């Protein structure tokens, strides 16, 4: 992830805090941000371990969102696509 995306996320959190929006919206944004960060971390770990088997999943917005939403099954599906189709 680039510093621009992290800056945009932090700016969004600050704007939500200042504007006094409902707690549900802030909670939704916070949960989404945490899931994206976990997705990047899981992809990084997979790439470190997958290097031994010759598998590499690029860390980009699409793969991060997929892994952030699905978790381990998302990594498994991306690994299967990488292994069998590409």
Model confidence over 16-70: pLDDT tens digits? 777 766 667 777 878 888 898 999 999 999 999 988 988 899 999 899 999 988 9
Select the more confidently predicted residue: 26 or 10. Answer: 10
CB count in 10 Å sphere of residue 81: 11
DSSP state of 86: -
Alpha-helical regions (H) of the chain: 3-19, 23-50, 61-70, 72-84
Is the pTM for the entire model greater than 0.85?
Answer: no
**Residues 67 and 74 sit within 8 Å (Cβ to Cβ):** yes
Cα atoms in the 13 Å half-sphere on the side-chain side of 51 = 7
Predicted pLDDT at 15:
78
Judged by DSSP in three states, 17 sits in helix
**Residues 68 and 35 sit within 8 Å (Cβ to Cβ):** yes
Predicted pLDDT at 1:
55
**pLDDT value at 73 more than 90:** yes
Predicted pLDDT at 31:
87
DSSP state of 22: -
């Amino acid at each position: 992830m680039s510093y621009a995306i992290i800056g945009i996320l932090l700016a969004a959190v600050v704007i939500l805090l200042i504007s006094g929006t409902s707690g549900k919206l802030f909670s939704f944004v916070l949960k989404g941000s945490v899931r994206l960060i976990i997705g990047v971390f899981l992809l990084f770990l997979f790439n470190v371990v997958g290097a031994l088997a010759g598998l590499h999943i690029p860390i980009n917005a699409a793969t991060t969102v997929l892994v952030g939403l699905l978790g381990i099954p998302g990594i498994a599906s991306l690994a299967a696509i990488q292994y069998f189709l590409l």
